[in-house]
Amino acid sequence: RIDLLDETSKQVLKVAAILGTGFSFEALKVIFPYSVSEEMLESHLGKLSRLDLTPLDRPAPYLEYIFKHIMTQEVAYNSQPFEKRRKLHQKAGEYFQERHRHDLASAYEVLAYHFSRSPARHKAFEYLLLAGEKSQRSFANKEAIRYFSSAEEVWEKERDSLEEGQIGKIETLYRQRGEVLKLLGEYDTASSDFQKLLSYSRQVGEKSSEGQALNLLAEICWLRGEYPPALKLCNAALELTCDLSETSVGALALYGLGEVERRRGHFDVALRHLESALGLFEEMEEEESQARTLNNIGISYWSKGELKEALKAFQEAMEIRRSLGDRPGVATALNNIGLIYSVIGPAPKALKSFTEASKIFQEIGDTRSRCYCLGNVGFILRSSADYSSALEVYLEALAVLEKIGDELGQAYTLNNLGDVYQDLHDLESAFEYHRRTLKLAKKIDDSELISEVLANLGNDELLAGNRAEAKKNLTESLGLAEKIGAGQMQLKALTSLLD
């Protein structure tokens, strides 16, 4: 059908294909490379519309058209020489850049599309990076990764054609894409980006970026339950602060040390690091970091059994998150406030908090956090004796956690499954899941979880009538809980020993 067109109509169709599956008369008029009057151009568009190749989508004064079939657009596009397409894409990019000059952010995607296919490589890099950051802010995670990766390709192949100020922006790209991948639970590829950030920052002597990279790599380690390398990376970042005038790297390193020690069950040490980090974040007026640190202070108090202090910290974090419009942070705070209500009651209030948090985590693509939240939903279901539903959500979470390689999450979920089977008096399954938990907890060196699962195994033995073995496990659990200051675990072990 294209071949049957007259030559001018054919060229109109081909140039229109550069603009995509939909285009305006105004944009086509600006980029059309041949001398033709507006009346003639509109006449040819009318012919193409009557032939149902590009029917009118919006009438005058807008005059917008669409390709009826995407294959027509693709054939018209690909039938043009490569260099011609590149030049037309540049003209299109310049048109949209001028048209949206007062609100460029609304057009980042279309500018990235055209300039990435044009000879203007510096603009391609700029708008691909900006489109990636925009997608990241709206949690369009797959699109963000695609834009960042395209920008990286431009940077790697045509670095010499970029403007001087753009070359260093590769640090932003590595950091931002790594953050998106971390959110999705893709820890290997996130770690690869943070390692690239570390290598590049050392190559160009950027100490601040080097410290950021060390802290980000530490976070990947502790998310995987790899605590010794996480501590080493945090301490390396802390050492760098001696050479830096800014305090953000040191604050993040202290935060990281606190998080690792909390996960290892060293709650008093964790609180010292976290309180120090909080003070620095307050000095810098870093509200998002204050909220994140308050959250982990709350978790540390929760583990110590000091629920009032925990609730206070969670509520302070929630206020900051809401004021910032931070949806991931609000979800985290809701989840943790739900944990408090799951102990002090009422249970429906806890379940409501967990359900709201889980919905937000799912919407923003935070796979790992949603799984942790599902674990808390399972706890409430188990408490209300809805065992089949509890098993369903725990198994759903376990499958995802195994897929993303989160050993800490796997360990806690296995422990929860063992608890449900214990309630059901299916002791064979309870022993199986609790023993798998103990093996994994020892591997990742999580003292609090080791204490908890020893108590659970003690209760399994008690139900099986093995009182001597039960006492052995419970006594070991109590000793470890006392050593690390885990008040909740002490209470659990003592209660079972009384039984």
pLDDT at 246: 66
Q: What local confidence, expressed as pLDDT, does residue 173 receive? A: 96
* SS3 category, 22: strand
The CATH class, in words, for 1-80 is: mainly alpha
Both tokens of 54, joined, read 């590009």
Q: What is the side-by-side order of every strand in the sheet holding 22-24?
A: 22-24, 64-66, 56-58
Q: Which part of the chain has CATH 1.10.10.10?
A: 1-80
CATH 1.25.40.10 in the chain is located at 406-499
Instruction: Please state which of the ranges 83-87, 174-178, 223-227, 395-399 shows the lowest mean pLDDT.
Output: 223-227
Place of tokens 């509109």: 42
244 confidence band (pLDDT: 50, 70, 90) = low
Q: Are 294 and 330 spatial neighbours (Cβ–Cβ below 8 Å)?
A: no
**What number is the average pLDDT over the span 380-401?**
94
- 339: Cβ–Cβ under 8 A, 6 or more apart, which residues? 302, 350, 376
How confident is the model over 70-75, as a mean pLDDT? 94
Question: What pTM, to 2 d.p., does this model score?
Answer: 0.71
Instruction: Calculate the alpha carbon distances from 172 to 19, 197, 294 in Å.
Output: 30, 9, 27
Q: Which sign does the torsion angle of CA 359, 361, 362, 363 carry?
A: positive
C-alpha angle 424/430/436, rounded to 5°? 155
How far apart are alpha carbons 462 and 459 in whole angstroms? 5
In sequence order, which residues have a C-beta less than 8 Å from that of residue 231 and are 6 or more positions away? 218, 257, 260
CATH of 406-499, one of 3.40.50.410, 3.40.50.2300, 1.10.3720.10, 1.25.40.10: 1.25.40.10
The answer to whether 144 touches 128, Cβ cutoff 8 Å, is: no
Which range (11-25, 63-77, 485-499) has the least confidence?
A: 485-499
Do 44 and 12 form a contact (C-beta atoms < 8 A)?
yes
pLDDT at position 465 over 70: yes
Alpha helices in 285-306 (DSSP H): 287-304
3-state secondary structure 133-190: HHHHHCCCHHHHHHHHHHHHHHHHHCHHHCCHHHHCCHHHHHHHHHHHHHHCCCHHHH
Give the pLDDT score at 255: 97
Residue 368 Cα distances to 1, 186, 224, 389, angstroms: 52, 10, 11, 20
